Amino acid sequence: MRHMLALKYIDAVAKAGSIRAAAETLAITPSALNRRILTVEEELGIELFERHSLGVRLNSAGELFIQHIRAQMADLERVRSRIADLSGVRLGHVRIATTKEIGANLLPGLIQSYRSDFPGVTFAIQTFARAQVERQLHSLDADIALVFQPLRLADVQTLIHTQQEIHCVMSPKHLLAQRPALRLVDCLEHGAILPPRGDGVRELIEAAAVKKGLNCMPAVEADDVNLIQNIARQNGGVAFSYSLADQNGVGEGLVKVPLHVGELDPGFLFVGQLHKRTLPVAASKFVEELRKQIDRH
């Protein structure tokens, strides 16, 4: 375990890019942390970091070694979780990479429900732009990834893949709020509030607009789902969402109006893990609960 602790220290320094910053996180003095790193480098017979005035950066050897470290740490967590499962006491740590709208809406209630049954399980949730979510699996910084409209899926095993219809979200006072269904042109002409380019919902809307010959210039563009909803709540325009992104309701002061059938292609919510990797028991069981939640919804 002392060996694993040294590897954990190196991983922390690699992520922080600074021995001093990593030392603060690890509650150890910078000089003691530096000695640990030098000891590992001496044992290996190679340097892992390039030292510079602003901190440290992994060199080529360090990049290879950090992958080894993270693989070992992931394997240790998997074994620890399985041993705990054998004893009937579910323990473990579940690392999730996702996007802001999923992290803010789909996960909180599900995690709380899971932890009420298994309080020994802890979670780490990090949100990224859509293009970055899958990378967290490859770097072994996440066990599972949740993303709407994934981009590549290279070396990623699909665990859940579910279709999601896009709908409109707006203030009850908006001119379009009382209609039973809307056309895309109506939304764009009455102040569309869109996420930035690269977002899955924006991609679907722009693709439909191109087919219809529509101008897809948003009235407001914002990269935060809560900000988008607050602008819509203030009758600032029409926002767009999908079912599992607002499964707890669109929120007070907002209404949901569907689009006419065929106005917009559906998107897909994806849950995946790194190909050929065995998930820790806690993460695997959480995916099962997530699948049940999606099926119920």
Sequence spans of domains, the chain: 1-88, 90-161+269-297, 166-265
pLDDT, one tens digit per residue, over 229-272 is 999 999 999 999 988 876 656 678 899 999 999 999 999 999 99
Q: Among candidates 40, 27, 34, 41, which has minimal Cα distance to 13?
A: 34
CATH topology of domain 1-88: Arc Repressor Mutant, subunit A (1.10.10)
Q: Are 251 and 234 in contact (CB under 8 A)?
A: no
Q: Please give the Cα distance from 261 to 248 (Å, whole number).
A: 24
pLDDT exceeds cutoff 90 at 67? no
pLDDT, one tens digit per residue, over 104-152 is 778 888 899 899 988 889 999 999 988 899 999 988 889 999 999 988 8
The pTM is what?
0.69
Q: What percent of the chain is modeled with pLDDT above 70?
A: 95
Which residues lie closer than 8 Å to 182 by C-beta, 6 or more apart? 168, 176, 238, 257, 258, 259, 260, 263
Q: What percent of the chain is modeled with pLDDT above 90?
A: 44
**57: exposed, middle or buried (C-beta count within 10 Å: 0-12, 13-18, 19+)?**
middle
Grouping H, G, I as helix, E, B as strand and the rest as coil, residue 161 is strand
Q: Please give the Cα distance from 140 to 52 (Å, whole number).
A: 26
On the question of a common fold for 90-161+269-297 and 166-265, the answer reads yes
Q: Please give the Cα distance from 8 to 10 (Å, whole number).
A: 5
What is the structure's pLDDT at 87?
Answer: 57
**140: exposed, middle or buried (C-beta count within 10 Å: 0-12, 13-18, 19+)?**
buried
Q: Strand pairing of 267-274 and 255-258?
A: unpaired
Kindly report the CATH number that applies to the domain delimited by 166-265: 3.40.190.10
Q: Are 205 and 196 in contact (CB under 8 A)?
A: no
- Average pLDDT, integer, range 157-165: 92
Q: Which CATH superfamily is domain 90-161+269-297 in?
A: Periplasmic binding protein-like II (3.40.190.10)
